């Protein structure tokens, strides 16, 4: 049999099922071609999903206060969304493991769209608990955004894994920026459709999440995860997938990677969530508060491709250390310059940059800390841990602010950064089990 006649490996048919790859080259070449399309599809889905989330989460707190009759309940919007993302992380990961990324991501987007519909219905009926349920379902959109960054690594080569992941993370910036700008147009569209006040943007969210589901469902063919599994195990005798918790128990590298991402996220949420309160208490205008948070968000996402490139070239651990160093400087600056508006702004920018470097490199390490058939399980646990850590960090930040002030909060948060730095230094300089090329 000639080279042209030899089968080129296993992939999927157009329905997303495992099957022969009808490529004109070897499996690696075909996988790289598919990978370019996968990243493009994920970027498009992330932009749509980001618009859907950005257009609603900020209004969720206003709607919660209106329906409950008390501003004390406004914080439940972010809480329920975070809870929804945490609860959806593992089931969506299991769905990816069983049916592929295409089904998992499109299902999560549809859940988020259903959440937006429930939010509109809650306002129309004046039922506050229904709003909380809707916001929880909307949190599935955040779980999709997190899983999408891992989907970008399914077919990527070790030398480009950080870059591919970071491009998907970066695309979130577009939706995050465009989403809030739809508040005004959303209210006009809502009024034209006869929707209750503060719900017009939720209609945009429904449309955006449905569009994202269509993009994932039609664009991820062949499915990147199923293709990777078929390419890596051509005899289809794949070992039985392990649970995420079992992987954590057996793999020190997986435990470190999951913890580094979760603790970095908790550090960021704790300080960021209390910054608007601190600035307002010190007489800052809403314009200044908004500018500070906008610069922080830019730090979180705008340079993520740079950190992805660094993670590929310099290594995951050095990039995580760089991120922790920026987080450390941010927290020290928050502690010593809490009364300076400029100091707080610089601190928040560094906070976003440190988060970006740590999460991009840490997520790449999570992706390669388990074999391909086990990736969705450990990634689901990582996303669950990340959301849970963020929720705990945000919940504890309020009492800490009241007890020791903004400066004290900054200094207390140093414990999380020091933990990651020490753990990173103790890590052996070796590759994970999945560093070989697909």
| Cα 274 to Cα 348: distance, rounded to the nearest angstrom | 11
Q: With 0-12 CB in 10 A as exposed, 13-18 as middle and 19+ as buried, what is 403?
A: exposed
pLDDT of 8 reads 34
19 beta partners: 11
**Residue whose token pair is 């020190």:** 252
pLDDT of 12 reads 45
Domain 9-233: homologous superfamily in CATH: MFS general substrate transporter like domains (1.20.1250.20)
Which portions of the chain are predicted below pLDDT 50? Answer: 1-27, 235-236, 431-438
Side-chain half-sphere exposure of 52, counting CA atoms within 13 A: 35
Smallest CA-to-CA distance from 167 within 144, 143, 151 is with 151
Residue 413 is encoded by which pair of tokens? 């948060």
CB atoms under 10 Å from CB of 437, counted, come to 9
**Residue whose token pair is 């990651």:** 420
Residue-by-residue DSSP string for 233-256: -TTS-PPPPPPHHHHHHH-HHHHH
Distance between alpha carbon 71 and the CA centroid of its chain, in Å? 28
pLDDT of 176 reads 66
Smallest CA-to-CA distance from 150 within 140, 139, 137, 164 is with 164
> Number of helices and strands (H, E) in the chain?
16, 2
Which residues, including other chains, have CB under 8 Å from residue 417's CB and lie 6 or more apart?
Answer: 263, 267, 324, 327, 328, 331
| Cα 381 to Cα 162: distance, rounded to the nearest angstrom | 20
Asked if the domains at 9-233 and 242-432 fall in one CATH topology, the answer is: yes
CB atoms under 10 Å from CB of 237, counted, come to 6
| Cα 428 to Cα 425: distance, rounded to the nearest angstrom | 8
Residue 153 is encoded by which pair of tokens? 């690594």
Smallest CA-to-CA distance from 296 within 328, 271, 277 is with 271
Which residues, including other chains, have CB under 8 Å from residue 299's CB and lie 6 or more apart?
Answer: 348, 349, 350, 351, 352, 353, 355, 356
> What Cα–Cα distance (Å) separates residue 292 from each residue in 8, 119, 296, 297, 356?
53, 29, 6, 9, 17
pLDDT of 362 reads 95
pLDDT of 82 reads 83
Q: Are 234 and 91 in contact (CB under 8 A)?
A: no
- Locate the domains of the chain by residue range: 9-233, 242-432
pLDDT in tens, 367-420: 888 877 788 888 888 989 998 898 888 878 888 888 899 999 999 999 999 999
| Domain boundaries 242-432, corresponding CATH code | 1.20.1250.20
| Cα 207 to Cα 110: distance, rounded to the nearest angstrom | 10
């Amino acid at each position: 049999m000639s080279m042209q006649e030899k089968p080129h490996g296993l992939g999927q048919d157009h329905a997303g099922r495992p099957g022969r790859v009808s490529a004109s080259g070897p499996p690696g070449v075909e996988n790289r071609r598919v990978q370019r399309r996968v990243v493009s599809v994920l970027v498009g889905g992330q932009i749509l999903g980001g618009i859907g989330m950005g257009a609603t989460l900020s209004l969720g707190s206003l709607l919660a206060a209106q329906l409950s009759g008390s501003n004390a309940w406004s914080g439940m919007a972010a809480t329920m969304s975070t809870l929804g993302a945490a609860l959806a992380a593992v089931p969506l990961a299991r769905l990816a493991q069983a049916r592929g990324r295409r089904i998992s991501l499109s299902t999560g987007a549809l859940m988020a769209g259903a959440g937006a519909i429930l939010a509109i219905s809650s306002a129309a009926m004046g039922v506050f608990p229904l709003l909380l349920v809707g916001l929880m379902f909307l949190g599935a959109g955040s779980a999709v955004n997190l899983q999408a960054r891992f989907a970008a690594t399914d077919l990527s080569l070790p030398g480009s894994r950080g870059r591919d992941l970071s491009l998907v993370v970066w695309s979130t910036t577009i939706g995050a920026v465009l989403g809030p700008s739809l508040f005004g147009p959303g209210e006009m569209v809502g009024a034209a459709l006869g929707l209750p006040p503060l719900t017009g943007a939720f209609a945009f969210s429904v449309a955006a999440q449905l569009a994202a589901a269509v993009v994932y469902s039609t664009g991820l063919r062949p499915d990147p995860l199923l293709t990777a599994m078929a390419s890596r195990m051509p005899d289809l005798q794949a070992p039985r997938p392990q649970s995420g918790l079992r992987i954590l128990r057996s793999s020190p590298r997986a435990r470190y990677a999951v913890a580094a991402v979760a603790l970095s996220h908790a550090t960021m949420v704790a300080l960021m969530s209390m910054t608007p309160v601190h600035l307002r208490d010190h007489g800052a205008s809403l314009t200044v508060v908004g500018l500070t948070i906008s610069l922080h968000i830019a730090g979180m996402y705008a340079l993520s491709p740079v950190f992805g490139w660094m993670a590929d070239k310099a290594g995951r651990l050095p990039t995580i250390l760089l991120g922790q160093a920026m987080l450390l400087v941010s927290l020290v600056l928050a502690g010593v310059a809490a009364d300076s508006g400029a100091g707080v702004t610089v601190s928040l920018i560094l906070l976003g940059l440190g988060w970006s470097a740590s999460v991009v490199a840490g997520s790449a390490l999570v992706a390669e800390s388990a074999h391909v058939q086990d990736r969705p399980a450990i990634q689901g646990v990582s996303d669950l841990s990340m959301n849970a850590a963020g929720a705990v960090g945000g919940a504890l930040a309020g009492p800490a602010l009241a007890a020791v002030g903004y400066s004290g909060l900054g200094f207390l948060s140093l414990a999380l950064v020091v933990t990651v730095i020490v753990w990173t230094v103790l890590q052996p300089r070796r590759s994970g089990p999945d560093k070989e090329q697909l």
